[in-house]
Amino acid sequence: MYDLIIKNGKLVYDSYTIENDIAVKDGKIVQIGKFSDEQASRVVDATGKYVLPGGVEAHMHCMAPFQGALGANTFYEQSISAAFGGVTTFMDFANMSRGQSPFEQVKARRKEMEESAIDYSVHGKFIEANESTLKDIDKLVEYGTPTFKMFMTYKKEGVMAEDETILKVFQKCKEVKGLPMLHCESNPIAENNIRECEEKNDLSWVNFAKCKPVLCEAEAFSRAVWFAKYVDTGIIVVHTTNKEALDVAREAHSKGFPVYVETGPHYLTLFDDLYEREDGYLAICSPPLRTPKQAEELWDGIKDKTISLIGSDDCTFDVDEKSMFLEKDSDGKFIQDFRKVVNGLSGLEVRLPIMLSEGVNKGRISINDVVALTSTNIAKVYGCFPQKGILAVGSDADIVIVDMEKEVTLNKDLLHNNISYCLHEGMQIKGYPQMTISHGNIIVEDAKFYGEKFAGKFVERSIDKNIIKKFDL
Ligand code: DUC
Ligand code: ZN
Ligand code: ZN
């Protein structure tokens, strides 16, 4: 007797779709074929619907004291929002300050994430590379957390990794099968521009984006890729926003270098005109939002597979946190000073709906591409495939049923992210997750949450050697 059968759905893989049934027992997919209703305690009829492997979100910042703000959600609340957005595994970053042990910080983060209703993992973070932190890379790989973030900016905030640190971490990663993740923005370009704005006393939201132009990102992207080429190892570049950076990746890919490029739903659907609004501070994130043309160039990068990962970079700050350091003028309006705005946007719950609607239903990409970008590729690159990222016998029964005809209007009340605004307010979406299943348990059905606090499990990951070695062309 199976615990659950999902019947008549269109099972979506990264390169094909097939109509079939799925049988689940003890939290795993145990058979794919045709079954009768009597064979299971619970039967879900998915006729006309698409059945996807649960989403894997490898990029979010929850409860992460960032620029003095913590975010609106606990990890349990974040897991609820994730589940409504078709995400069944998420990963966050260790909080790091200089002098701390990356390994100890990852363990501490794991503990904080235990209350999650969905599966979870943690990335390390490197600010400095010395004998002790580099030894931690061995421990982190052994512990099942082989991915490490480094910021190429935020020097003043004390989290920037210098070039030498980046190089040493890359070298160690190559040795022990670790995989670095880079936030690429050139600190000198950004800081120089910010200083000029300070001198002109014009710190408007619009100038925020001007301080971190495309070349600020492309310069750092290029430097990271050259280090990776020099060391001959793989890297992930997170939240890429523009063609200039993608062209660097295209050149690297043409020579077989494993550079995995991520972009986020906000860079595909929100634009820098938001900075012209009085509440434009709500749209401040790093790198900044770009133009519609640049967003279309990102879609081109998705279509030609230069971009293989979609990560939301979710930072769910409510209005009070985004504006906590801003001052008001005598009319009660915020005095524009972008330096005082906490960076980051909410996006975890809308990631899949945006890719389904703007990607598939607008004819830009296939539903198979969406599975690749939001689940399979992420599981493969981050080292948890085939436990995650595929509907296969033996994989965890983490499944999302999607209704490609369902139309919704995005608004703050529809989402479960606990904030009082939605930057996508009013956006028409066609294609939405209807049911989310984690380890064979239905955790979202009919817009209600049935998951449990602490039900999520820590996912131990290891990077496949083929992920970090040069591709055969
Ligand atoms: N970018 C943001 O906008 N917020 C958090 C971290 C980051 O890289
Ligand atoms: Zn970042
Ligand atoms: Zn981030």
Return the percentage of the chain with pLDDT > 70, whole number.
100
Residue 41 CA, distance from chain mean position: 35
Query: How confident is the model over 377-427, as pLDDT tens digits?
Result: 999 999 999 999 999 999 999 999 999 999 999 999 999 999 999 999 999
Q: Which atom of ligand 1 is nearest to the CA of 342?
A: 4
CA atoms within 13 A on the CB side of 195: 7
**pLDDT tens digit string along 118-141?**
999 999 999 999 999 999 999 999
| Residue 54 predicted with pLDDT over 90 | yes
Question: Can you give the pLDDT at residue 153?
Answer: 97
User: How confident is the model at residue 432, as a pLDDT?
Assistant: 98
Residue 468: which residues within 8 A CB-CB, separation 6 or more?
Answer: 173, 174, 177, 179, 233, 234, 258
Q: What is the pLDDT of residue 76?
A: 98
Task: Classify residue 36 by burial, with Cβ atoms within 10 Å: 0-12, 13-18, 19+.
Answer: exposed
Q: How confident is the model at residue 66 (pLDDT cuts 50, 70, 90)?
A: confident
286, pLDDT greater than 90: yes
Report CA Rg, the chain.
21
CB 149 within 8 A of CB 161: no
pLDDT at 369: 98
Cα separation, 208 vs 201, in Å, equals 13
Residue nearest (by alpha carbon) to ligand 1 atom 2: 344
Site of tokens 């704005």: 197
Task: Output the CA 61–ligand 3 centroid distance in Å.
Answer: 6
pLDDT above 90 as % of the chain: 98
**Does the structure show a pLDDT above 90 at 40?**
yes
Half-sphere exposure of 103 (CA within 13 A, CB side): 14
The C-alpha atoms of residue 262 and residue 265 are separated, in whole angstroms, by 10
The answer on pLDDT for 473 being more than 90 is no
Q: Tens digit of pLDDT for each residue in 446-461? A: 999 999 999 999 999 9
**Rounded-to-integer distance, Cα 195 and Cα 210, Å:** 12
> What residues are in contact with ligand 1 under a 6 Å CB criterion?
61, 66, 183, 285-286, 313, 315, 343-344
Q: What is the average pLDDT across 67-95?
A: 96
Q: Dump pLDDT digits (tens) for 95-110.
A: 999 999 999 999 999 9
C-alpha–C-alpha distance, residues 87 and 80, integer Å: 9
pLDDT value of position 397: 99
Per residue in 157-212, pLDDT (tens digit) is 899 999 999 999 999 999 999 999 999 999 999 999 999 999 999 999 999 999 99
Angle subtended by helix axes 187-200 and 214-231, to nearest 10: 160
pLDDT at 298: 98
Whose CA is closest to 401, among 54, 76, 78?
Answer: 54
Cα dihedral sign for 368, 349, 28, 463?
positive
Beta strands 87-93; 55-57: pairing state? parallel
Which among 106, 110, 80 is positioned nearest to 95, based on CA atoms? Answer: 106
The 8-class DSSP code of residue 292 comes to H
CB contact set of 443 (below 8 Å; sequence gap of 6+)? 83, 117, 118, 436, 437, 449, 450, 451
239, 270, 312, best to mutate for ligand 1 pocket (most atoms within 8 Å of CB): 239
Q: Which of 112, 78, 80, 79 is nearest to 93 (CA)?
A: 112
Alpha helices in 324-453 (DSSP H): 351-354, 367-371, 377-382
pLDDT band at 276 (very low <50, low <70, confident <90, very high): very high
Predicted confidence (pLDDT) at residue 67 exceeds the cutoff of 90: no
Mean pLDDT of 260-283: 98
Examine the pLDDT at 431 and tell me if it is beyond 90: yes
Location of structure tokens 């239905």: 442
Which positions ≥6 away from 159 have C-beta within 8 Å? 96, 97, 125, 127, 151
Residue with tokens 């910042």: 61
Ligand nearest to the CA of 287: 1
The predicted structure's pLDDT at residue 472: 85
Tokens of 368: 């198979």
Contacts of 140 (CB under 8 A, 6+ apart): 102, 103, 106, 124, 146, 148, 178
Which carries the bigger pLDDT value, residue 67 or residue 360? 360
Nearest alpha carbon, ligand 1 atom 1 = 286
Q: How far is CA 359 from CA 290, 364, 367, 368, 429, in A?
A: 18, 5, 8, 11, 11
Instruction: Give the whole-angstrom CA distance, residue 273 versus residue 264.
Output: 18
Which residues does residue 122 pair with via DSSP β-bridges, in sequence order?
92
Cis bond upstream, residue 287 (ω within 30): yes
Q: 66 CA to middle of ligand 1, Å?
A: 8
- For residue 365, pLDDT over 90 is answered with yes
Distance CA 215, CA 153 (A): 14
Q: Whose CA is nearest to atom 7 of ligand 1?
A: 286
pTM of the predicted protein model: 0.98
